[in-house]
């Protein structure tokens, strides 16, 4: 085995976003493209020598080959040990847990999350720090800086490792540990939830459907739900991970998980339904005949977390991304705990979790998690819901109804306008930002604007400041509009439009969200000129 130094010309556009670098799979398959970005990771963290890394991904097309490249580069550059999921597979929350469990120096995770997979679809790579969470902006900026000066990379010239066999082997001077991707994660779940109570729930005839969307969560859900908790065989559908996710779009929302939605609103619906995404960090929750928005789910979980053994002592605080509805803030106020509002991106929760200032975190984009790992965790959220259902012995609809009666209801929706020409999207946002200071006191759709700004966040732990995190337009009745351009796509720009209206109750708690939000939707179109700038009147996805 020899170390090869390969001379390269730096690639343009290798700038990681909030979730690492995402491009079309064929882009990553170009000669040297993946290698150059992996080298920037090692450069940004001070090299690989003497370090231990967790490596794995969501099993999408090109995942196994990419893992072999990463191992060969780590070995060539003096890494001490690599812990790899069997078959080169690890869900993102499971990878975060392994980083923390084994106290490694970080991990390299291959995933484009909820984006489609396949040779003509999407691929991604990101680095997680020693705390198990995504690299902060200082590290991703260092990666991007390194991409501009990349001149060479080192890689071991050696045969591929057999990643399908659990056990240890050597790759040059580096120990490679191939481990079960599921076992340690499943064991962690048993420490957090009352498995006996959930097992009894299923034994009593409770029926559930879990749609793994042909993605990474299938083996985890089968082990935890069917093998350990006694859910009926077949509870998990689309449970075999496939390189192209079976042609499915592995994004757990009502649009892409239509099969599950149809079943849960059908004549013989199960008691509970859930879905997870490509890499296992997102979740959708559905009751019989009722959909639970991610913002409402976070609020319900916060209000009832004490029912699970792992959270019986109470919560230190809660945190939500700025675009997420304020429903969880009302729970925090009642519980007398802190509520934090952060920019979009799970890495912003990391400092709060590490400092013990928050226990539960959530985003409106179907991500929920706690301080058990430093990533959002789809199956964890589903298990906490099951623990609550087993303890309260009520339906999802009954739990939601009682929650709204206690706290009021934050009607909420997100409208996604996908693959907009980037220049048009940027021009629209620039024009909107240019008039923010003049909006206060004006009226639109019969509502008065109380204020408008471009959200900036000062981290309460380390004092770092993040600016330009999304435009907010706030109305004097508590309603609001948020607009931002997402960085998770691979083509053009995605405009995310977030809409919220609060109803205190007791009346007006059972409206259809799109009807309740109709004036807010019209106001957003007028204020931003969405159709004029983009040619789009209707969104691609409504959640």
> 493-525 pLDDT, tens per residue?
999 999 999 998 888 898 999 999 999 999 999
- For the chain, the distance separating the N- and C-terminal CA atoms, rounded to the nearest angstrom, is 52
**In whole angstroms, how large is the CA radius of gyration of the chain?**
23
Please give the pLDDT value at position 451.
Answer: 96
Per-residue DSSP letter, 316: S
pLDDT, averaged across the chain? 95
Where are the CATH 3.30.310.50 domain residues in the chain?
A: 409-542
Please give the pLDDT value at position 256.
Answer: 94
pLDDT (tens digit per residue) in 424-434: 999 999 999 99
Distance CA 316, CA 359 (A): 6
Please give the pLDDT value at position 18.
Answer: 76
Please give the pLDDT value at position 490.
Answer: 57
Please give the pLDDT value at position 222.
Answer: 98
For residue 40, the Cα-to-chain-centroid distance in whole angstroms is 24
What lies within 8 Å, CB to CB, of 273 at 6+ separation is 208, 209, 210, 211, 260, 263, 264, 285, 286, 287
Please give the pLDDT value at position 505.
Answer: 83
Q: CA torsion, points 227, 228, 229, 230, in degrees to nearest 10?
A: 40
Which token pair is 479?
């309603």
In this prediction the pTM is: 0.93
Query: What CATH code is assigned to 409-542?
Result: 3.30.310.50
Mean pLDDT of all residues in 249-264? 95
Q: Count CA atoms closer than 13 A to 66's CA, side-chain side.
A: 29
Please give the pLDDT value at position 488.
Answer: 55
Q: Is the pLDDT of residue 196 over 90?
A: yes
Please give the pLDDT value at position 541.
Answer: 85
Please give the pLDDT value at position 487.
Answer: 58
Please give the pLDDT value at position 489.
Answer: 53
Mean pLDDT of all residues in 254-263? 96
Residue owning tokens 């931002």: 484
Q: Which fold has domain 185-407?
A: Alpha-D-Glucose-1,6-Bisphosphate; Chain A, domain 3 (3.40.120)
Please give the pLDDT value at position 506.
Answer: 85
Residues carrying an active site annotation: 113
Where are the CATH 3.40.120.10 domain residues in the chain?
A: 2-180, 185-407
The CATH class, in words, for 2-180 is alpha beta
Please give the pLDDT value at position 347.
Answer: 85
Mean pLDDT of all residues in 117-124? 97
pLDDT (tens digit per residue) in 204-235: 999 999 999 999 999 999 999 999 999 999 99
pLDDT (tens digit per residue) in 359-407: 999 999 899 999 999 999 999 999 999 999 999 999 999 999 999 999 9
Considering the chain, what percentage of its residues have pLDDT values greater than 70?
99
Q: Which of 517, 493, 478, 345 is nearest to 429 (CA)?
A: 493
Q: Is the pLDDT of residue 473 over 70?
A: yes
pLDDT (tens digit per residue) in 328-365: 999 999 999 999 999 988 889 999 999 999 999 999 98
Mean pLDDT of all residues in 102-127? 97
Q: What are the CA-CA distances from residue 285 to residues 17, 92, 196, 291 (Å)?
A: 27, 19, 22, 7
Please give the pLDDT value at position 35.
Answer: 98
pLDDT (tens digit per residue) in 12-27: 999 998 789 999 999 9
Mean pLDDT of all residues in 181-195? 98
């Amino acid at each position: 085995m020899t170390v090869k130094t390969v001379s390269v010309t730096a690639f343009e556009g290798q700038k990681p976003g909030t979730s690492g670098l995402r491009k079309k799979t064929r882009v990553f398959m170009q000669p040297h493209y993946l290698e150059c970005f992996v080298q920037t990771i090692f450069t940004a963290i001070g090299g690989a020598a003497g370090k231990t890394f967790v490596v794995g991904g969501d099993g999408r097309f090109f995942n196994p080959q990419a893992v072999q490249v990463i191992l060969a580069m780590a070995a060539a550059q003096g890494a001490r040990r690599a812990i790899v999921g069997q078959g080169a597979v690890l869900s993102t929350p499971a990878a975060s847990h392994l980083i923390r469990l084994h106290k490694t120096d970080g991990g390299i995770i291959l995933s484009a999350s909820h984006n489609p997979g396949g040779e003509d679809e999407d691929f991604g790579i990101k680095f997680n720090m020693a705390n198990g969470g995504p690299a902060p902006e200082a590290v991703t900026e260092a990666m991007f800086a390194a991409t501009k000066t990349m001149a060479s990379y080192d890689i071991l010239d050696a045969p591929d490792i057999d990643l399908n066999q659990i056990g240890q082997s050597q790759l040059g001077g580096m120990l490679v540990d191939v481990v079960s991707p599921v076992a340690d994660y499943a064991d962690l779940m048993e420490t957090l939830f009352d498995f006996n109570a959930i097992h009894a729930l299923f034994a009593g005839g409770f029926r559930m459907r879990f749609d793994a969307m042909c993605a990474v969560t299938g083996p985890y859900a089968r082990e935890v739900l069917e093998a350990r908790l006694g859910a009926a065989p077949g509870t998990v559908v689309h449970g075999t991970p496939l390189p192209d996710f079976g042609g499915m779009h592995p994004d757990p929302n009502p649009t892409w998980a239509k099969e599950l939605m149809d079943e849960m609103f059908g004549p013989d619906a199960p008691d509970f339904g859930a879905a997870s995404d490509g890499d296992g960090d997102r979740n959708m929750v559905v009751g019989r005949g009722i959909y639970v928005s991610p913002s409402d789910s976070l609020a319900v979980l916060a209000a009832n977390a004490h029912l699970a053994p792992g959270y019986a002592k109470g919560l230190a605080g809660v945190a939500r991304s700025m675009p997420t509805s304020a429903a969880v803030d009302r729970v925090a106020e009642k519980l007398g705990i802190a509520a934090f509002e952060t920019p979009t991106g799970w890495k912003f929760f990391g400092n709060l979790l590490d400092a013990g200032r928050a226990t539960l975190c959530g985003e409106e984009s179907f991500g929920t998690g706690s301080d058990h790992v430093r990533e959002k965790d789809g199956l964890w959220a589903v298990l906490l819901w099951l623990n609550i259902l087993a303890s309260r012995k009520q339906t999802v609809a009954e739990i939601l109804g009682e929650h709204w009666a206690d706290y009021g209801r934050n009607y909420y929706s997100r409208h996604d306008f996908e693959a907009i020409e980037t220049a048009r999207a940027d021009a629209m946002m620039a024009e909107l930002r240019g008039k923010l200071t003049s909006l206060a006191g004006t009226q639109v759709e019969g509502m008065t604007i109380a204020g408008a700004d471009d959200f900036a966040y000062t981290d309460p732990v380390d004092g770092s400041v993040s600016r330009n995190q999304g435009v907010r337009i706030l109305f004097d009745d508590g309603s609001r509009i948020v607009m931002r351009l997402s960085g998770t796509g691979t083509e053009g720009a995605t405009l995310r439009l977030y809409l919220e209206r609060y109803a205190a109750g007791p009346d007006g708690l059972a409206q259809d969200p799109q009807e309740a939000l109709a004036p807010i939707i019209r106001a957003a179109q007028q204020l931003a000129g969405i159709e004029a700038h983009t040619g789009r009147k209707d969104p691609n996805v409504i959640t």
